[in-house]
């Protein structure tokens, strides 16, 4: 009797067994070659285009507190800082640092909650009251940032029966906020009162008409003609909204903003602004204005309802920032900031530089060409001055510039040194004779 010997079964790896089991369940794609990564090619082309155009942005890590001089990673010595929003020099002010530290010990690091659940502290309500009083408004509401305040405002209070009439050069956060809203949209030419009047006539059938403008336009340093705009709004029974991020703590006799500087303090319907620039430079934004607007935002504004509350140390430190601004020290800081601004603008114009803006500490030094702006910024850093180039898409094409921001913290001799560096770099690059 002949008995056939069975062949031994080949060993099957656990990976192969898993693959076969998955294929049997319909996961056949796992056995196929990886598809071409289309997104990687698109993004690679985007970055290559930015690099070729000279608009690729690079971050320079700072290794010191924010101040008139900062230490930059891999730089041999500290450099003059002319590109922070630290207008009053409060970012590392000892009283503000101390207030934040005390709040950290009293309340902890964060609240781990949105406001309406368990994220509201007494310090938040105290800060909101302080903001409203500062702006001569009925109430205020805190947001994680002013970008969030702008994102939450329009869609909460307006609908398709209403109209928004917006300056064509408004900040990106206003533009994005308007996009989220279903209201009819009109755009008027930059600070053009006649065109604003015309657009309001076009929107005459809207239930509510809201004019939206920056108080100070951050890329150009120019100031909206607010008093005249308010008159046009009243003519057409329209409301006025302003974004005051670069005006709070900067403009007006007491630093209350564009409306104070224009002589109409307390007459603007809605104001959005930030705690992240002149008022200590941390985070947080707010809306202040009519009581009914603030009440509705607490119920409907999505960035408020679905974002964690402003951290307790930031809230406490921001109250201290208002204390400083409204004191004699604040008046001194405002005076120093303005003196530095006047000195820089006067001497840079005399040297032949093309500047934008008026009397605001934002001073755009125009280069127009993106590569020239990047080259000027790099040469300034080599000469000990930290000032950043701005180009498309942050500003329109062929309007590249190095944006300077003066601070009360800059000593007069530091302003002199910055002007000297600009003159040297400008001559080397053929910008001035």
- Residues tagged active-site: 218, 246, 277
Task: Name the β-bridge partners of 364.
Answer: 403
The answer to whether 380 and 386 have CB atoms below 8 angstroms apart is yes
Compute the residue count for the chain: 433
For the chain, the farthest-separated pair of C-alpha atoms sits apart, in whole angstroms, at 117
d(CA 255, CA 424): 34
| CB within 8 Å of 424: residues ≥ 6 apart | 383
Helix (H) or strand (E) holding 210: strand 209-214
CA–CA gap between residue 367 and residue 119 (Å, rounded): 47
DSSP β-bridge partners for residue 363: 404
Task: Tell me how far apart the alpha carbons of residues 336 and 433 are, in angstroms, rounded to a whole number.
Answer: 30
How far apart CA 228 and CA 345 sit, in angstroms, is: 26
Q: Is 383 within 8 Å of 421 (Cβ atoms)?
A: yes
- Exposed, middle or buried: residue 307 (CB in 10 Å: 0-12, 13-18, 19+)? middle
Helix ranges, 253-382 (H): 258-261, 291-300, 302-305, 312-325, 328-351, 370-382
Nearest-angstrom CA–CA distance, 90 and 320 = 10
Give phi and psi for 10, each to the nearest 5.
Answer: -60, 145
């Amino acid at each position: 009797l002949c008995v056939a010997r069975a062949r031994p079964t080949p060993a099957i790896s656990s990976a192969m067994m898993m693959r076969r089991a998955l294929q049997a369940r319909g996961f056949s794609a796992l056995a196929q070659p990886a598809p071409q990564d289309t997104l990687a090619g698109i993004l690679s082309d985007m970055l290559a285009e930015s690099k070729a155009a000279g608009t690729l942005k690079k971050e320079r890590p700072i290794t010191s507190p924010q101040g008139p001089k900062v230490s930059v990673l891999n730089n041999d010595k500290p450099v003059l800082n002319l590109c922070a929003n630290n207008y009053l020099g409060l970012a590392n002010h000892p009283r503000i640092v101390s207030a934040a530290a005390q709040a950290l010990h009293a309340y902890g690091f964060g609240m781990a909650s949105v406001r309406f659940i368990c994220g509201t502290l007494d310090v938040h309500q105290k800060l909101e009251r302080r903001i409203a009083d500062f702006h001569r408004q009925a109430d205020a509401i805190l947001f994680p940032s002013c970008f969030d305040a702008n994102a939450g405002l329009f869609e909460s209070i307006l609908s398709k029966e209403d109209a928004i009439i917006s300056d064509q050069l408004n900040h990106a956060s206003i533009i994005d906020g308007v996009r989220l809203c279903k209201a009819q949209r009109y755009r008027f030419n930059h600070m053009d009162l006649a065109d604003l009047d015309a657009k309001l006539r076009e929107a005459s059938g809207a239930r509510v008409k809201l004019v939206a403008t920056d108080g100070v336009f951050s890329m150009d340093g120019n100031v909206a003609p607010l008093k005249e705009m308010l008159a046009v709004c009243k003519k057409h029974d329209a409301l006025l909204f302003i974004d005051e991020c670069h005006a709070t703590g900067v403009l007006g006799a007491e630093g209350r903003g564009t409306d104070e500087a224009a002589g109409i303090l307390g007459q603007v319907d809605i104001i959005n602004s930030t705690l992240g620039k002149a008022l200590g430079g941390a985070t947080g934004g707010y809306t202040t204005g009519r009581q009914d607007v603030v009440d509705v935002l607490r119920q409907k504004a999505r960035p408020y309802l679905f974002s964690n509350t402003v951290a307790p140390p930031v809230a406490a430190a921001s109250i201290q920032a208002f204390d400083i601004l409204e004191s004699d020290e604040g008046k001194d800081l405002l005076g120093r900031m303005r003196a530095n601004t006047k000195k820089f603008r006067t001497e840079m114009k005399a040297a032949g530089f093309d500047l934008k803006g008026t009397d605001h500490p934002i001073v755009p030094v125009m280069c127009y060409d993106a590569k020239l702006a990047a080259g000027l910024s790099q040469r300034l850093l080599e000469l000990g001055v930290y000032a950043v180039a701005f180009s498309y898409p942050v500003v329109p094409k062929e309007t590249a510039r190095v944006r300077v921001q003066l601070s009360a913290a800059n000593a007069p001799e530091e302003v002199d040194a910055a002007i000297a560096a600009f003159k040297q770099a400008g001559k080397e690059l053929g910008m001035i004779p």
